[in-house]
Chain A
Amino acid sequence: MGGRSLKPHYDAIVIGCGMAGLAAGIRMAMFDRTVLVVESHNAPGGLNSFYALEGRKYDVGLHAVTNYVPPGAKGTPLIKLLRQLRLRREDLDLCPQRGSRVAFPGVDLHFDNGFASLGESVASAFPEEIDGFRALRAHVAACDPFDASAPVLSAREVMGRFLRSPLLTDMLLCPVLYYGSARENDIDFDQFVILWRSLFEEGFARPHEGVRVIIRALLKRFREVGGERKMKCGVRRLHSEGARVTAVELEDGTTVTADAVLSTAGALETEALCAAPDPAARSPAPESGRRLSFVETITVLDAPPADLGAEETIIFFNDSERFHYERPEALVDPRSGVICFPNNYDYGDRSLDEGFFRVTALADYDRWAALGSDAYRAEKEAWYPRLQESALRFVPGLGMDTVRAHTRAIDMFTPCTVKRFTRHIEGAVYGSPRKHRDGTTRFDNLFLAGTDQGFLGITGAMLSGISMANRHVLSRG
């Protein structure tokens, strides 16, 4: 940065300055490796970034930091993450949620940080299922999702051993899939376990100033340990000889070498950068299932949502008999989605300057990408109220007229926006349906971290970077 010239050689080069890339970079630089993080976008954060529009600050991606545990908790992912990066809890300013809900036709499940309220909610809405639900919870608690040798199972199949009600199964899956599944209508069971713990056993939090607080903390730490960063300059090619990546050619023409390369770009995205393409990786069906992306509407309100009648933090909604988590045959599928009121975290004596109301729903990348710029704008304008209206059916205290009367500004992002921030193929928020849990590739010194490695959420992304750096670079002496 700042015109400082790059070294010709680094111990490690990290592709991508998102949560996983920064965490990996910090770990390696902490132990005296020379590290360069390269990023094609001008802003750090990747999928969880931020931007300013007309003087207002917006977050991309982040509804909630999952894995929240209160001070004093032991051994959970958040605690491991803080230890590994030598961050203090205060650095992340995590403020807990006020309460969330899964809303399906005629049934609600309420949940909060820690498990108690979800358990009570299931017991009261599904009394005949409570024993199965408790057994499922015990089964999840006993699983080791980080055992890379375990077979990949379907979460629906495993849940089916414990629950008889398809409705309860769908309701429990709704938040889990929306917050981390790259697969349609299901999720790998090991990832289900990670998400179940991070959402239900642990919980949601948010820094008062949003995701930028976390990115800032990571950047500061990365600087302190001597890491280098090159922004707005992606990787053009990875050169290789035999089973080794020998050089990284950047988009500005610079070539640097490294002992190890950690890529957070995605598995196929990384393969596409390799100068000698692997014929096997180019076969027509390298992954099973279609990639999933989302739209999100963001509405800035002139009052806190709680004053207008919306007191919950996150609401996962679905209006249909079954929950369809799949790539829609339309620009957007408004039948289900996620509502987030970022004001409704417990910020103590602080509050946000304005009210925010966000709605996320499944969307089809191909249909958005095929639109000309006028049609793209027109479709955004048409879908913005449709999606809002669909979501507000599940917020009884807040009507469309009230929202309209209090709206100060709006914005909306589409799968094309996600593609621009992350360069993920088809704007796939959670990457490829196929995960690479051990992070290895066909090259001995090229490793994957981040979304396609398979730990999820912000905490998961950082832990992915940490564990891949530990395993493939630091443990090798």
Chain B
Amino acid sequence: MTKEECKQVVLEIIEEIAPDEDLEGLSHDVRLRDQLDLDSMDFLDIVMELRKKHGIEVPEEDYPKLASLDSCAEYLTPKFNAVKAGA
């Protein structure tokens, strides 16, 4: 999986969790919280959807790594590839 594909997966999850948010034109290097109305409950859901849909575990101390789309891709892409390789 590429970083771009990883971002797409994260965006799909956000779209499902917060269908009332407009995801067009998001800056990839700016915190999602600063561009969208997402609270800690929503971030918990992103983590749980990653586990449920993709078998990816994000320990609580790593939540800050999901701050922006760029940091999500940085952190999650290797995890996606590891899950794929293991499957």
Contacts and interface: CB of A to CB of B under 8 A. Distances in A.
Interface in B3-60: 16-20, 37, 39, 41-42, 44-45, 48, 51-52, 60
Interface string A466-477: 110010001100
B41 A80 contact: yes
B20 A79 contact: yes
A362 to B, nearest CB: 36
A161 interface: no
A414 B60 CA distance: 48
A475 B41 CA distance: 10
Contact of A470 (B16, B44, B60): B44
B32 to A, nearest CB: 14
Given A32-B52, A75-B37, A474 B44 contact: yes
Contacts of B42: 83
Interface string A446-470: 0000000000000000000011001
A165 B67 CA distance: 48
22 contacts: A31-B48, A31-B51, A32-B52, A72-B20, A74-B37, A75-B37, A75-B39, A79-B20, A80-B41, A82-B20, A83-B18, A83-B20, A83-B41, A83-B45, A84-B41, A84-B45, A86-B16, A86-B17, A88-B19, A467-B41, A470-B41, A475-B60
Question: What range describes how many residues of A lie at the interface?
Answer: 10 to 19
A31 B46 CA distance: 12
Contacts of B41: 80, 83-84, 466-467, 470
Nearest to A82: B20
- Chain B interface, DSSP helix/strand/loop, else mixed: helix
Interface in A129-152: none
Nearest to B49: A31
B48 A474 contact: yes
Given A80-B41, A84-B41, 10 more contacts: A31-B48, A31-B51, A31-B52, A75-B37, A79-B20, A83-B17, A88-B19, A466-B41, A474-B44, A475-B60
Contacts of B19: 88
Contact of A80 (B16, B39, B52): B39
Interface of B: 16-20, 37, 39, 41-42, 44-45, 48, 51-52, 60
A127 to B, nearest CB: 37
A79 B41 CA distance: 12
B38 to A, nearest CB: 9
Contacts of B60: 475
Contacts of B51: 31
Nearest to A81: B41
B49 to A, nearest CB: 8
Contacts of B45: 83-84
B39 A475 contact: no
A443 B51 CA distance: 28
A280 to B, nearest CB: 33
Interface in A20-71: 31-32
A470 B42 CA distance: 11
A7 to B, nearest CB: 20
A475 B37 CA distance: 21
B33 to A, nearest CB: 12
A86 B41 CA distance: 13
Contacts of A82: 20
A32 B49 CA distance: 11
B22 to A, nearest CB: 11
A375 B62 CA distance: 65
A72 B20 CA distance: 7
A84 B46 CA distance: 11
Contacts of A86: 16-17
Closest 5 interchain pairs by CB? A74-B37, A31-B48, A75-B37, A83-B18, A31-B52
A88 B37 CA distance: 17
Interface in A365-415: none
A278 B19 CA distance: 46
A467 to B, nearest CB: 8
B7 to A, nearest CB: 21
B4 to A, nearest CB: 26
A466 B44 CA distance: 12
Contacts of B37: 74-75
Contact of B44 (A75, A88, A475): A475
Contacts of A31: 48, 51-52
